[in-house]
Amino acid sequence: MYPELNNLLNTTPDRAEQGKLTLLCDAKTDGSFLVHHFLSFYLKANCKVCFVALVQSFSHYNIVGRKLGVSLTAARECGQLVFLEGLKSSVDVFFRAQAEPHPLQFLREADVGNLQPLYEFIREALKPMEDGQAAWRYPVLLVDDLSVLLSLGLGAVAVLDFMHYCRVAVCWEQKGNIVALVHDSGDAEDEENDILLNGLSHQSHLILRAEGLATGFCRDVHGQLKILWRTPSQPAAQRDRSLTYQYKIQDKSVSFFAKGMSPAVL
C-alpha cells in the first residue's frame, strides 16, 4: 500500500471504514496501481480478501505485491486470500465437466447471461467460518476489472445486478468492503460502459478517478487523481468532499503532490 495515499484518504489498515463500496476508475491512463494499493492495504489489515482478477495473472500481482510488502502466495496458502485467476480458469470452463457451475459460466452461454455463478463463488469464498472463530477481520471483495465483463459480452445491467448482489452479501450482510475498477472510455461512445460507470458511481461511497494529464504524457507527472467522497443516503455535516492531486508512480511507491507542485518543476 502507498502510505501517501493512505494519508490523502485519511485511513490506515487498522481503522478503515466498513460496509463501503469504493469505485476506482481510470481515463486515458492505467489505474491498476490503485488496485495494487487496495490489495496490499486489505491484506495488511488482516481482512479476508476475495480477488477476482480478470486482467492479469497471479504472478503479476504477486510481484507487485512483494514490492509493496505483502506475499500473495503466503496469503493464499493460509486462506486469507481467495484468488480467482480469470485468465487461467476461463479455459477450464471449456475443458471441465458441466456438472458443477463454474464462476465464469457465462462464457459458455449463447444467450445473454448473468453473473449468478460468479456471485455464488464469491459468496462461498467470503462466508464466515462455521466454527465461529473470526480469523480475519471482515471480508473484502476486489474486482479487476469490471469493464472486461462488458467486453466479454455481458450487458451493463447484468454487471450492475452482480455488483448489487455483491453489495448485499458483502457490504450489508457482513459489513465488508468492495473495491472495483472500471475503465472510463472517455470520448469513445460506449453507452454500456457509461451506464456501468454512472450506475456504480451512484452507489459508491468513495470514488478514486485516475486521469491522464490533459496536456499529454509527462515523464515526471504520470497523471491526476480525483478523490470524491459520497454519501449515497446520509446528508453529512460537510458537503461531499472532492480533492485533486497529481501523482508520479515509482518503483515501490507513488508520490502525490498538489497540482503544479511536482518536485521536478519546483
Partner 1 sequence: MESVVAQAGLVLLRDSVEWEGRSLLKALIKKSALCGERVHILGCEVSEDEFREGFDASVNSRLIYHDVFRDPLNWSQSGEALPGGPLGALQAMCRRTDPGPVTIALDSLSWLLLHLPCPALCQALCALSQQHSCPGGGSPAEPVRVLCLLHEELHGPGPLGALSSLAQAEVILSGTMGQASAHILSRRPQQHPTRQTQWFSILPDLSLDLQGGPPLESQPHPEPHTPPVSKGAGARTRECGGGVRDSSHEQRKHPLDLQVDPTAHMTFNLHLSESERAAKDSLTLPFQFSSEKQQALLRPGPRQATGRIFYEPDAYDDLDQEDPDDDLDV
Is 40 exposed, middle or buried, given 0-12, 13-18 or 19+ CB atoms closer than 10 A? buried
Query: Should residue 219 be labelled a site residue for partner 1 when binding is judged by CB under 8 A?
Result: no
Sheet strands (E) in 19-171: 21-27, 48-53, 81-85, 139-144
Question: How many Å apart are CA 175 and CA 173, to the nearest integer?
Answer: 6
Question: How many Å apart are CA 166 and CA 57, to the nearest integer?
Answer: 23
Query: Should residue 116 be labelled a site residue for partner 1 when binding is judged by CB under 8 A?
Result: yes
Query: Should residue 157 be labelled a site residue for partner 1 when binding is judged by CB under 8 A?
Result: yes
CA atoms lying within 13 Å on the CB side of residue 101: 13
Query: Should residue 192 be labelled a site residue for partner 1 when binding is judged by CB under 8 A?
Result: no
Query: Should residue 168 be labelled a site residue for partner 1 when binding is judged by CB under 8 A?
Result: yes
Task: Figure out which of the listed residues 161, 192, 213, 262 binds partner 1, where binding follows CB under 8 A.
Answer: 161
Query: Should residue 262 be labelled a site residue for partner 1 when binding is judged by CB under 8 A?
Result: no
Query: Should residue 129 be labelled a site residue for partner 1 when binding is judged by CB under 8 A?
Result: no
Query: Should residue 260 be labelled a site residue for partner 1 when binding is judged by CB under 8 A?
Result: no
Query: Should residue 249 be labelled a site residue for partner 1 when binding is judged by CB under 8 A?
Result: no
3-state secondary structure of 144: strand
50 touches 122 (CB < 8 A): yes
Of 46 and 198, CB closest to partner 1: 198
Is 218 exposed, middle or buried, given 0-12, 13-18 or 19+ CB atoms closer than 10 A? middle
- Count of residues interacting with partner 1 (CB under 8 A): 34
192 touches 148 (CB < 8 A): no
Query: Should residue 243 be labelled a site residue for partner 1 when binding is judged by CB under 8 A?
Result: yes
Query: Should residue 201 be labelled a site residue for partner 1 when binding is judged by CB under 8 A?
Result: yes
Query: Should residue 17 be labelled a site residue for partner 1 when binding is judged by CB under 8 A?
Result: no
Query: Should residue 202 be labelled a site residue for partner 1 when binding is judged by CB under 8 A?
Result: yes
Give the footprint of partner 1 on this chain (CB under 8 A).
Answer: 114, 116, 119, 157, 160-161, 164-165, 168, 172, 191, 194-195, 198-199, 201-203, 207, 228, 230-237, 239-240, 243, 257-258, 261
